[in-house]
A and B are shown apart, each in its own frame.
Chain A
Amino acid sequence: MGLLAARRDLLIGLAITAALVVTLLATDEDAALVIGVTTGSAYGLVALGLVLVYKSSGVFNFAQGEFGTVALYVLYLLDFEVGYWWAFAGALVAAGLFGFVTERLVVRPLFDAPRVTLLVATAGVALLAIAVEIWFGSAQGKPIAKAFERVDRVTVLGVQVSDQRLWLIATVVVLAVLLGLFFTRTNLGLAIIAASQEPTATELVGISVRRLSAFTWVLAALLGGLAALIAVPDGGSFGPGIMTSTYLIPAFTGAVLGGMTSLPGAFLGGVLVGIIQSVATSAPLFEDIPGTPSTLVVFVVLLAVLVVRPQGLLGKRA
């Protein structure tokens, strides 16, 4: 039964993707398709972290973006001292450490509190992190280096896809698959799911729910860090709160669109948000919408999907 449901969700995802691709190609919005995939992959990577925390603890983590921004600051600082890749590794460690500290100081003391309390607490962590970033490095933007400089190696449907973006897309696809397998095929993954659904029963069979929680938050923070370290340098600079202000809301939307319990769904949702934003900006159909149609259309689509499938495109019904 479960296998059937999984295959049905996969088919739904594939059908939506195919329909979207055909529609965009048929309406001369092929550039929007490529731009949507390249920018939406960043949303998807942030969304992966959001879904990971939600699957394990039922919490919308508003601090997910700032796990990434903190990593950017560390990359910025260390890049001058130890070279790019060591700085990159150091930045990931910093993000993981931030996730660990958040779990220990904020999540764990509120472990038995209502989920809404935890939600507000994570928002507090994000605001605190932004304040510290401003205090530490001023509100001004800072330049940041890319790992890969070349931008014209690959051109798809007339749009250049930079090496940095190719790296991002590859990373998010691989991680979505690996994490999907992790949660369905490994004991640790299954234990995390069990802990989120039946914490008492999980404890009774000898699994430390609190230790699992720390693991999950560190993993989510690493995903947030990875998203920031790969996606943001493409813009050449960053500032305080950039991951929250630029990526968190589209990523949340993508996660809900894809289904808050599905890791491949998070990726698909993120990409869909990117495509919708791009199409709503370029397609003549939306020209007459006053204001900024890209924001409006994203939420109209989200609403439509939730009316038809409240669990999201690939999510499971509660």
Chain B
Amino acid sequence: MTRRALAVAVAVATLAAACGQKAGVSGSAADDGAADTIVTVAPTVASLPPASVPPSAAPSVPVTSPATGAVSTPATEPPATTTPPVGPYQPGPNDTAGVTDTEIVIGVHAPVTGASPIPQESFDIGKDVYWRFLADSAPDRLYGRTVRVVFRDDEFNPQRAVQVCREMVEQDGAFLLVGGAGADQITACAQYADENGIPYLSAGVNEEGLADLDTYFATTVTYAEQAPLIIARLQELGITEAGLVVADTPSFGDAFVAIKEAAAAAGFGIPYEQRINKDASPAEAATVVQALKDAGLGAVILLTSPVVYVLGLAASAANQSYAPVWIGPGITSGLNAVTAIGCPNVETGEFFSPVPGLDVIDELDPDFNAAYPTYAGGAPADDVGLQLWALNKVLAQMLEATGPELGRAAFMNTLVTSPGFDNGIYPPVRFSVDDHFGGTGAHLLDANCDVGQYVTAQRFIPVPS
């Protein structure tokens, strides 16, 4: 009897806990009237002219020309005005979760283990180097607050990504979430964030599954937006047709279509297309490569994980003495980890990237190489560190622009009403109420196996508007 009573008590307690409001999570639409769901963007609000944005929101972040390579001035003094920006987002009960007078907590997830890992050590070191640099060089820029980064490995698994995002919000009290890499994981976690009113930022990946999310913001161009750049680059190389190999995951569906549409619009041929298994077997990879070779294609447009690219496609091509130009959108295939293990098979690879190669970073942001070893415990600067530095730098501009009254709604209102953010490394980032894909261009990286890393082939290539 006692045991039964205990079981009932545990069940009731569990149910009660499940129904209760978790720390850091906004109420759902099904909650009572006080719930803090994102207000649907009303046409009247969406059409607000830029002039309706309070002065504090935008002018604090100067937008500079990428051509000059100038970096936004690190403000050592906080802006004078403190009025929260006006916009479509309304604060809820957990609006300021993760923010105190002295600290902002940011949750970051990325795959550092699993099928397609990015270098763990580099990520661990690089995740807060910029924030430490900022705390020393401009301590007042975030209104007396420092940023604490919490990181979780999502293991290249979307279910795991949701789990770790939930942990970072509910246990670590993250104010906002950042996706480091991996389209499926970013999509899964962004949907969780949207359901709970939490701002979520990542580099641009897919648009499908993310375009309708109110709290999602892509800081760089998406795969689909890069499609015209890819076709233009191939035409620039004198190539008139290419194969198209895209991983068979729903997240890449929009890019697959966009690339074919861009090719059709430019009169560019795609005589062979293949959706390949996300974890393609050696036999599948070899078969695809054989078909590409038999079709006589001098270039392959690629959107797969680096593992499939390096271990499968590029290796199989080398075994067939076949060396096409591998070109594609994305971030991970353009990381130096690919050249480190894939050379010489990936020598002909070219990938677009939100950041340039390490070979030109001194011209764009002299602080990076100078500060990195100091704030990274002596570790040398690398491209993963640069990706994180650039992301955090633009994030700092966004937090600064929001003003001292930092809350989730105010932060997102700032993003959609500001004229733009330019960190000197990314092409300028511009959001609007209707468009949360803020990237405006990309750099082009070219694999150089002589130096064992990607070098910058072209900088600040704008996407066609």
Question: Closest residue to A38 on the B side, CB-wise?
Answer: B286
B282 A39 Cβ-Cβ under 8 A = yes
A31 B294 Cβ-Cβ under 8 A = yes
B121 at the A/B interface (Cβ < 8 Å)? yes
CA distance A24 to B314 in the complex (A): 26
CA distance A278 to B121 in the complex (A): 37
CA distance A159 to B114 in the complex (A): 32
CA distance A234 to B312 in the complex (A): 10
Please indicate the chain B residues that have their CB under 8 angstroms from the CB of A160 in the complex: 319-321
**Chain A 105-144 interface 0/1 with B at a Cβ cutoff of 8 Å (1 = within):** 0000000000000000000000000000010001111110
CA distance A32 to B275 in the complex (A): 17
B283 A36 Cβ-Cβ under 8 A = yes
| Overall SS of chain B's interface | helix
A200 at the A/B interface (Cβ < 8 Å)? no
CA distance A239 to B307 in the complex (A): 10
B287 at the A/B interface (Cβ < 8 Å)? yes
CA distance A273 to B444 in the complex (A): 39
A237 B287 Cβ-Cβ under 8 A = no
- Contact A235-B311, Cβ < 8 Å, known A141-B341, A151-B321: yes
B281 A236 Cβ-Cβ under 8 A = no
Please indicate the chain A residues that have their CB under 8 angstroms from the CB of B274 in the complex: 281
A140 B290 Cβ-Cβ under 8 A = no
Question: Closest residue to B279 on the A side, CB-wise?
Answer: A245
| Cross-interface CB contact of B315 among A152, A235, A246, cutoff 8 Å | A235
B320 A139 Cβ-Cβ under 8 A = no
| Overall SS of chain A's interface | helix
Please indicate the chain B residues that have their CB under 8 angstroms from the CB of A143 in the complex: 340-341, 343
A277 B281 Cβ-Cβ under 8 A = yes
Please indicate the chain B residues that have their CB under 8 angstroms from the CB of A36 in the complex: 283
- Contact A138-B281, Cβ < 8 Å, known A38-B286, A235-B315, A278-B287: no
| Cross-interface CB contact of B318 among A39, A40, A236, cutoff 8 Å | A236
B115 at the A/B interface (Cβ < 8 Å)? yes
Question: Closest residue to B274 on the A side, CB-wise?
Answer: A281
B363 at the A/B interface (Cβ < 8 Å)? no
CA distance A238 to B310 in the complex (A): 10
CA distance A281 to B274 in the complex (A): 9
A140 B315 Cβ-Cβ under 8 A = no
Say how far A174's CB is from chain B's closest CB, in angstroms.
22
Tell me the A residues contacting B by CB distance below 8 Å: 31-32, 35-36, 38-40, 42, 134, 138-143, 151-152, 158-160, 162, 165, 231, 234-240, 245-246, 250, 273-275, 277-278, 281-282, 291-292, 294-295
